[in-house]
Amino acid sequence: MFRFFENLVDPFTSFDEATPPGTLWAYLKSQFGPFRKWMLALALSGIVVALIETGLIFYSGRIIDLLSANTPDMLMSLHGRELLLAAVFVVTVRPLFIMLNHLFLEQMLAGNMQEQVRWRAHKHLLGQSSSFFQNDFAGRLTNRVMQLGAAVEDATYMAFEGIWYALTYVVSAALILSQVDPLLAVPLILWVVLYVAYVRHVARRVAVASEKWSEARSTVTARVVDAYSNIETIKLFADEGTEEGYVLSAMKRLRLRFQRFLRLMTELSFGLNVVNGVLILGMMTPAIWLWMRGTISVGEVAAASALTLRLNGMSGWIMWVTVRLFEHAGVIREGLQSVAVPHDVVDDADAARLQVTNARIEFRDISHHYGKGEGGLDHINLNIEPGQRVGLVGRSGAGKSSLVNLLLRFRDTEAGQILIDDQDIRHVTQVSLRQAIGMVSQDNSLLHRSIRANILYGRAAAPEAQMIGAAKQAEADEFIRNLIDPKGRIGYDAQVGERGVKLSGGQRQRIAIARVILKDAPILVLDEATSALDSEVEAAIQETLFGLMQGKTVIAIAHRLSTIAQMDRIVVMDQGRIIEDGSHDELLAQGGVYARLWARQSGGFLGEEAETDKPSALGLDAPADSAY
């Protein structure tokens, strides 16, 4: 039975992946879609439960009247069957309807809504460009996704379990009271108007305070996560005091905003008791007056009294529920600041999969200035033939990585086109584009999973033997087999820690290379792929990488010129432009910038030139030990 209601809605089913609405009600409506056909049943079951509860209170008044009008013997002989049916109803029908209502509330709604909201928010954020994540804290984004799911689920749950139930309860109570005497329904209706006005006044202020409180919580989470993620840097510079102050300021702000929220809660409590006093006085005064006139019975007075006390207790609960709803509204609005942001790199509606036949790459008059009008890349034209190995050379900021990021469509070009086998990459799916490109960068962070999972990220369906073969090619198998994590998992099952922190830079690099070897994509991008390796391992890896390059179109970025001297072609960049292009021998023969760099580099690294005769073509006016 539980499983049936739990499976009425699949929170992970496919959905419209457009940008989520940025307003509260529109966003909630978008999340209610899969639940809508069951919400009517939930609402009806709530009405029945409220009617039953209201009816029981007034039936208790009838019991008092029966006790007053009959002796014990007469009571059982005249009304025994009625009382027996009432008892059976209380122990069977009432629990069944309450059970049904909670099956819809807990199993159907609460058990699925939270994870649906989180899944959809997470899936949308995964589609954001790299720059989106670079401009925010990972901790804040995480906090918003997690809080958003809880807020939407709890708000929906309380709207049905609290507001809808209370509304039905009050309406049914007013109808029953009006049947006893219309005068009894008047104070109840007036109290409801006063109560709603007061709650609305306070709840609006709560929504504002809640949004600020939620934002402060996200900031604290972001700063704490940032500290934990960079703990080595903090300890390396012995700067815990500064770091403590950075987080402490956010915590103090959080405390201040929480205190303001609590002030509203205290104010709310006082006002609620005043309003409830009005209810008790307003209900009991006319009830006693009508009894004195002989218009209503003692049982009806008792029922009205019980109803008043029940509403008195419910009013505090409903007030709390309403405040929580407005609090959740603030949390949702805060979360939508990140979740309802459109993707800045999107697939065309009719985007096709990239079809790689030769892996020819063409950069056609590319310009990209990061929205600043200057810097970045400026009118780049570069054709890379199928199977050609091209080295990119230039100092830091010359545009090498920008060119690669545009090829991977981490950003879209501001002008020009990038084509692979005559297909504009703007018009193919991002997934198929990146599946066709294998990349090893100088800072390869690993997922906090097993070694096996990290290597298989290159090709999940690869058999174990191929995965181990890739690790051996990357000179990683030997050290992997000797790994053991704190939980006793060894070898390929060992966990690497967040971003791979349990491994050395060289070990992370070799696993990243193994992952790319396993992926076996037709286009290979190497961005300082061996920079973290020692000389002995680098020599072995270089041989592996050159073997991996066979039959692939390759773009390699390196500061160590000796690592790209064997490329088919070398492109020299400076200030976002291509200034030289040719083979190693051709560029040396030209006697230009590349030749001077080759002659002056010390230890094989670009930019470590002598103090004199700096090549003006590259604007090298930095100190002699500056690196490109």
Which residue from 269, 330, 303, 352 is spatially nearest to 65, judged by alpha carbons?
A: 303
Backbone angles phi, psi at 365, to 5 degrees: 50, 55
Inter-CA distances, 216 with 255, 256, 331, 558, 588, Å: 9, 9, 11, 43, 59
Helix (H) or strand (E) holding 465: helix 464-473
Backbone angles phi, psi at 484, to 5 degrees: -145, 130
Write down the residue that tokens 């219309």 correspond to.
Answer: 182
Alpha-carbon gap, residue 190 to 200, rounded angstroms: 16
pLDDT at 239: 58
Strands 389-393 and 569-574: parallel
pLDDT at 617: 34
Write down the residue that tokens 């396993």 correspond to.
Answer: 518
Q: Is 418 in contact with 364 (CB distance < 8 Å)?
A: yes
pLDDT at 307: 74
- Edge-first strand order for the sheet with 577-582 is 437-440, 523-527, 553-557, 389-393, 569-574, 577-582
Instruction: Dig out the tokens for 31 from the structure.
Output: 């999340």
Q: Which residues contact 417 (CB under 8 A, 6 or more apart)?
A: 362, 364, 365, 366, 424, 426
Q: Angle 182-229/165-180 helices, nearest 10 degrees?
A: 170
CA atoms within 13 A on the CB side of 329: 19
Alpha-carbon gap, residue 577 to 367, rounded angstroms: 10
Q: Is 407 in contact with 437 (CB distance < 8 Å)?
A: yes
CA atoms within 13 A on the CB side of 512: 28
* Residues of the chain under the 70 pLDDT cut: 232-233, 235-240, 313, 373, 499-500, 530-540, 601-628
pLDDT at 536: 64
Give CA torsion, residues 47, 51, 52, 58, to 10 deg. Answer: 170
Inter-CA distances, 323 with 263, 310, 580, 619, Å: 13, 20, 67, 63
- Edge-first strand order for the sheet with 361-368 is 377-384, 361-368, 415-420, 423-424
Q: Domains in the chain, please, with CATH?
A: 2-338 (1.20.1560.10), 350-436+521-628 (3.40.50.300), 446-518 (3.40.50.300)
Alpha-carbon gap, residue 254 to 621, rounded angstroms: 48
Burial 76-92 (b: 16+ CB within 10 A, else e): eeebeeeeeeeeeeeee
pLDDT at 428: 94
Is the dihedral angle over the CA atoms 262, 266, 268, 272 positive or is it negative?
A: positive
SS in 3 state form for 414-450? Answer: CEEEEEECCEEHHHECHHHHHHCEEEECCCCCECCCE
Alpha-carbon gap, residue 299 to 63, rounded angstroms: 7
**Alpha-carbon Rg of the chain, whole angstroms?**
35
Q: Is 223 in contact with 247 (CB distance < 8 Å)?
A: yes
Is the dihedral angle over the CA atoms 617, 625, 389, 555 positive or is it negative?
A: negative
DSSP calls for 301-361: HHHHHHHHHHHHHHHHHHHHHHHHHHHHHHHHHHHHHHHTPPPSS---TTPBPP--SS--E
Q: Which residues contact 102 (CB under 8 A, 6 or more apart)?
A: none
Write down the residue that tokens 């066979």 correspond to.
Answer: 550
Residue 571: how many CB atoms within 10 A of its CB? 24
How much of the chain is in helix, strand and coil states, percent to nearest 5?
A: 65, 10, 25
Strands 415-420 and 361-368: antiparallel
Write down the residue that tokens 């010390």 correspond to.
Answer: 602
Q: Is 264 in contact with 320 (CB distance < 8 Å)?
A: no
Write down the residue that tokens 């181990």 correspond to.
Answer: 468
Instruction: Dig out the tokens for 546 from the structure.
Output: 């050159």
